[in-house]
């Protein structure tokens, strides 16, 4: 079988910057000497913002843009967008409930009190009912430091938070990698490492033919081309892309222990070039964010 490999040059540059700079979020809290207690009014405002954040996360899973509206940074807005895309692609019905066990005191992490950390213990529970199948239940723990920034007096936006035990700032990374061939354009927009390995992609049909994809044709392969990981989720809208359309979706896998020599293979039908696209994962290896 013909196989094509491309280098993740853009991803390497992105990760080099991410690894060399201090993470602006719960992954790198300020020194204790820099922290100071916030006034009573500020405590009440931040507590309200923390509760709204949990509700915004729940609403986003149901197709809303609530979390994106609360985002304080481009990274958080991008994460919120893809969270909504991934769950919005589910072909059945999703119900979600949220619970908050505790909201700690706000601790200012800058001299002006414009950025605060607040410890929260919360959870969002989901029931996904596929058409004609059994319901699937899962829980999303939102437990750990929530970092908020003041956008205006009394208005707080989300800088970072902990999900499945990892700050979003260390578990979600932009890739911005584009691959093109006649009739096809694929963008690997970003990558998330918890709770599964998820590649957030855009597939565009740039020719006159419809592009088709099956879950079996999205795999992880070793250096010899043998399949060592099968997709556990391929967003349904990605399975058929009409001419002139661009579809956003997610490709998810169970994490592997070793990635050197491993590539993401995407075999799309309907292009003039029948060879599957293979993208090496090695440039992401060894970072806290990548595989």
Q: Is the pLDDT of residue 151 over 90?
A: yes
What is the arithmetic mean of pLDDT over 223-232? 96
pLDDT single digits (tens) 236-270:
999 999 999 999 999 999 999 888 899 999 999 98
- Strands 136-152 and 115-129, how do they pair? antiparallel
**For residue 207, what pLDDT band results from cuts at 50, 70 and 90?**
very high
CA-to-CA distance for 255 and 197, rounded, in angstroms?
Answer: 6
This prediction has a pTM of: 0.85
Give the 3-state DSSP-derived string for the chain, with helices as H, strands as E and coil as C.
Answer: CCCEECCCHHHHHHHHHHHHCCCCCCCCCCCHHHCEECCHHHHHHHHHHHHHHHHHHHHHHCCCCHHHHHECCHHHHHHHHHHHHHHHCCCCEEEEEEEEEEEEEEEECCCCCCEEEEEEEEEEEEEEECCCCCCEEEEEEEEEEEEEEEEECCEEEEEECEECCEEHHHHEEEEEEEEEECCEEEEEEEEECCCCEEEEEEEEECCCCCEECCHHHEEEECCCCCEEEECCEECHHHHEECCCCEEEEEEEECCCCCCCCCEEEECCECCCCCCCEEEECHHHCCCCCCC
C-beta separation of 38 from 108 below 8 A: yes
Which pLDDT band holds residue 27 (cuts at 50, 70, 90)? very low
Q: Tokens for 73, please give them.
A: 């940074």
Can you name the residues that pair with 114 across neighbouring β-strands? none
Residue 41 CB contacts under 8 Å (≥ 6 apart), including other chains: none
Asked if the model's pLDDT at residue 47 lies above 90, the reply is yes
Contacts of 6 (CB under 8 A, 6+ apart): 177, 179, 277, 278, 279, 280
Tokens of 251: 């490709």
Closest by CA position to 266, among listed 240, 231, 291: 231
pLDDT at 291: 57
Write out the CATH class of domain 31-165: alpha beta
Where are the domains positioned within the chain? 4-14+171-284, 31-165
- Closest C-alpha to 39, from 154, 149, 131: 154
8 Å CB contact between 52 and 70 = yes
Q: Residue 125: left (phi > 0), alpha (psi -120 to 50), or beta?
A: beta
State residue 258's pLDDT score: 83
pLDDT score at 272: 75
Pairing of strands 197-205, 240-241: unpaired
The CATH class that applies to domain 4-14+171-284 reads mainly beta
**Residue percentage of the chain with pLDDT more than 70:** 84
Structure confidence at residue 26 (pLDDT)? 46
């Amino acid at each position: 079988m013909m196989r094509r490999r491309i280098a993740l040059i853009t991803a390497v540059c992105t990760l080099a910057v991410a690894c060399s700079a201090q993470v602006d979020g719960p992954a790198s809290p300020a020194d204790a000497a820099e922290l100071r207690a916030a006034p009573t009014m500020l405590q009440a405002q931040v507590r309200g913002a923390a509760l709204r954040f949990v509700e915004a996360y729940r609403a986003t899973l149901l197709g809303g843009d609530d979390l994106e509206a609360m985002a304080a940074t481009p990274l958080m807005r991008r994460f919120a967008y893809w969270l909504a895309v991934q769950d919005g692609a589910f072909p059945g019905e999703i119900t979600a409930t949220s619970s908050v066990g505790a909201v700690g005191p706000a601790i200012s992490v800058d001299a002006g009190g414009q950025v605060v950390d607040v410890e929260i213990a919360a959870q969002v529970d989901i029931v996904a009912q596929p058409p004609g199948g059994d319901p699937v239940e899962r829980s999303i723990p939102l437990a750990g430091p929530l970092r908020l920034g003041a956008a205006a007096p009394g208005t707080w936006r989300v800088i970072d938070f902990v999900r499945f035990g990892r700050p979003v700032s260390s578990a979600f990374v932009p890739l911005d990698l584009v691959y093109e061939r006649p009739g096809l354009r694929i963008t690997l927009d970003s990558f998330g490492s918890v709770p599964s390995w998820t590649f957030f992609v855009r597939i565009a049909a740039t020719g006159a033919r419809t592009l088709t994809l099956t879950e079996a044709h999205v795999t992880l392969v070793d250096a010899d081309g043998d399949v060592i990981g099968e997709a556990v989720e391929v967003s349904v809208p990605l399975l058929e892309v009409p001419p002139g359309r661009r579809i956003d979706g997610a490709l998810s896998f169970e994490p592997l222990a070793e990635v050197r020599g491993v590539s993401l293979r995407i075999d799309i039908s309907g292009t003039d070039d029948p060879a599957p696209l293979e993208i090496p994962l090695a440039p992401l290896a060894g970072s806290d964010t990548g595989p």
